[in-house]
Chain A
Amino acid sequence: MSADASVVEVVYESDLKNVEAAEELVRRVLASLNFDEEEQHKIGMAVHESMINAIWHGNKSDPAKRVWLQFVVYDDRLEIKIRDQGAGFDVSNVPHPLEPENLLKISGRGIFLIRSFMDDFQVKNIPGKGTEVTLVKRRSPNTDLNQGGLHREHEGHNTPG
């Protein structure tokens, strides 16, 4: 990791209620980075879908398992990492929701929306540990951070409300 990067990391329990908590954190971080309202919505939705994948599909809502949400802020981009403790998945096996035979399927649009809303999306399966997805959004260089306290390493822990 670059010495210039700023990091925020929060650990969540595997409860769908924490998806909204993560969304609220995302809004605060993105506002501090001067992303406009539309970009905030798109990135927020990508995080929402990723958190649901981690809690619901990855950790199967197991209360003993955790989800890590990390923001790494570079001058030219924001990287958001979401890691679960699930068995992982092969993103190449996810059917494309725009194919005519998939258009009326109930599920299968989450990854597509994430790809649509972010500049880059990577999935890394970590054997024995879980799955980490990385969402990347470019940002204007040299955008000053507000007084959001993002210049130092920070770790928090969230408990379900």
Chain B
Amino acid sequence: MKATIRQVNAVTVVDLSGRITLGEGCTQLRELIRDLLSKGHKQLLLNLADVTYIDSSGIGELVSGFTAVSNQGGHLKLLNLTKKVHDLLQITKLLTVFDVSDDEAKAVASFDKGA
């Protein structure tokens, strides 16, 4: 997994690519979110457009990140889900948990509303 971090207004956008699976991918994502939180970045938008594969452990890592950010008073939202990732979140009912968008500008703006 690779991650590129951008700052758009008050929102930290993380462009993720590759595989988020048990092992290296999950560990990298966990450490990335922990590092961002430790630096005070609490408004996170994860762009999953180039994520080629995510497994149950990767889904668990997204949930873990969501909980960690929420516990610090922040928000973690998802951007540009591929169909496969969207389907996975749908059958695991996590679309009811995550705020998901296909429009980066609207997603970034939604943080200002405190949603």
Partners in one complex: yes
**B93–A109 touching, CB < 8 Å:** no
Please tell me if B92 contacts chain A, counting CB pairs below 8 Å: yes
**A104–B97 touching, CB < 8 Å:** yes
**B91–A105 touching, CB < 8 Å:** no
Which of B1-31 touch A at CB < 8 Å?
Answer: 21-23
Please tell me if B84 contacts chain A, counting CB pairs below 8 Å: yes
A45 to B92, CA, bound (A): 14
Of chain B, the residue at the smallest CB distance from A97 is B92
Please tell me if B63 contacts chain A, counting CB pairs below 8 Å: yes
A17 to B63, CA, bound (A): 24
**Majority DSSP secondary structure for residues of A touching B:** helix
The smallest C-beta distance from A159 to any residue of chain B, in angstroms, reads: 18
Q: How many A-B residue pairs have CB under 8 A?
A: 48
Q: Range of interface residues on chain B?
A: 20 to 34
- Cβ-defined partner of A45 (8 Å) among B55, B60, B67: B55
* Interface locus among A66-74, A76-84, A110-118, A140-148: A110-118
List 13 other contacts, CB 8 Å, given A19-B22, A52-B55.
A19-B21, A45-B55, A52-B22, A52-B57, A56-B22, A104-B63, A105-B60, A106-B64, A107-B60, A109-B56, A110-B55, A112-B56, A116-B91
User: What are 30 of the A-B contact pairs (CB < 8 Å)?
Assistant: A16-B22, A16-B23, A19-B21, A19-B22, A41-B84, A45-B55, A48-B55, A49-B56, A52-B22, A56-B22, A97-B92, A98-B93, A103-B93, A103-B94, A103-B96, A103-B97, A104-B67, A104-B97, A106-B60, A106-B63, A107-B57, A109-B56, A109-B59, A110-B55, A110-B56, A112-B92, A113-B88, A113-B91, A113-B92, A116-B91
Top 3 A-B residue pairs of the complex, sorted by shortest distance between their CB atoms: A109-B56, A106-B60, A110-B56
